[in-house]
Structure 1
Amino acid sequence: MTDKDNYGLFIAEYGKALPALRAFLRQLLPTWFDVDEVIQETSMVLWKKFDQFEPGSSFSAWASMVARFEVLKYRRKKSRDRHVFSDATLELLAEECLNMEDQLSEQRLSLKTCVAKLEQKQQDLLIQSYSRDLSIKELAENEGRSPGSLYKVLDRLRIKLMQCVKENGAPSHG
């Protein structure tokens, strides 16, 4: 296989695995900034070690294992921060996250379907509220609402999405 073929295969597999990988890392790390940092390192390691990946096996599972080690390395660098889990706690969380991946994947697919059923303005509001760029206060100002009013609207949307996901038969978490 040529380097060009390898690159194409890597990009295809990585692209499919990235949303689940980000979700996995977010459960192990306290902030999206931390997730972005570890994603960068994980991406480089995955590419460097792509020749060790066994075609036909789960790229997502392999990427999660690599990411798990990158989280440990990242944690060591940030070990002076008092908001860091112990290695044992992190291992338990990582195991649980990996065990729940199929269920979470089904839930993400169901949620994506449910979000698509919302009006475009509602979808945009949800996306903006979960982005890293705006606080609820800033978003409320942009929408011409009070923060309290925006929280109520978002709460109603979350309830609507939760009901839709349940109706679509996606397994519930927990």
Structure 2
Amino acid sequence: MARFSSEIPADTDARWARYVAGIAKAQPGLRSFLRTLLPCPGDADDVLQETNLILWQKREEYDSTRDFGPWARRIAYFQTLAHLKKRSRSRESRFSEEMAESLAVECERRADALEDRIQALRTCLDKLPGDERELVEARYGTGASVKVMAGEIGRSADALSMHLYRVRQKLAECISKSLRGGEMEMKGGEG
């Protein structure tokens, strides 16, 4: 006779923990996506809750080798269509399925472009010389003011501001090259 255990294997626990983390991480993007498709914030919030329920129900179907965001947005899109159909039956809807599809495609394109830019920024930040990366992290990661930072490193605020400007230009150039598929080489120094 086979023995049954009420314990869930550790690898399953870790898998569900990653899945729940994926749902949590996707919430701001899903909310923005739905608010684009559904102009009434209450409707967007309702569809977000329905989407989260479906995401949980479909957890076994999720392919963890694929990006979670597009998969979750697709489910949110279908939940939006269901919501719009329900609304059209009650004649409360001002948006067609075609409009929702058009908006969803544009949102997906923008989300993909933003993810590409974020990845390019990370790659370009990694290519910065250590002192410049530390400056960028101190200024933009912690929100330290230029004046305070300048005092801490013994430089004038104007000089530090100019240095940060040059670093931002280098990052922008690197990101542009990366997005065009070019080589992402960072030049050292203050320029």
Aligning the two structures, in what range does the TM-score lie when normalised by the shorter sequence?
A: 0.5 to 0.7
TM-score using structure 1 length: 0.58
Please, what is the CA RMSD of the aligned residues? 3.1
The equivalent residue for 1:73 is: 82
Instruction: Output one character per residue of 1:47-80: Cα deviation in whole Å (capped at 9) or x when no partner.
Output: 1101111112110000000000000111111113
d(CA) in 2 for partners of 1:90, 1:118 = 42
Q: Report the more deviating stretch, 98-107 or 82-91.
A: 98-107
For residues 87 and 73 of structure 2, what CA distance do their matches in structure 1 show?
20
2:99 is matched with which residue? 89
Aligned to 1:59: 68
Aligned partner (choices 15, 26, 29) of residue 20 of structure 1: 29
1:161-172 correspondence runs (5 A) = none
Mark the CA change 1:81 to 1:6 in structure 2 (over 3 Å): closer, same or farther.
farther
SS at match of 1:56: coil
Equivalent of residue 50 in structure 2, options 35, 41, 53: 41
Secondary structure of the 2:30 match is helix
Structure 1 residues not aligned, in runs of 5+:
120-166
Q: State the one-letter code of the partner of 1:89.
A: M
Shift of 1:34: 0.8
Task: Tell me how far 1:89 sits from its aligned partner.
Answer: 1.3
Q: Which amino acid aligns with 2:18?
A: L
Ranked by relative contact order (alpha carbons within 8 Å, sequence separation 6 or more), the top structure is: 1
Larger Rg: 2
Q: Report % sequence identity.
A: 33
Q: 1:10 to 1:87 in 2, by over 3 A?
A: same
Letter in 2 for 1:98: E
Tell me by how many angstroms 1:104 deviates. Answer: 4.5
Asked whether the equivalents of residues 47 and 79 of structure 2 are also in contact (C-alpha less than 8 Å), the reply is: yes
**TM-score, reference length from structure 2:** 0.53
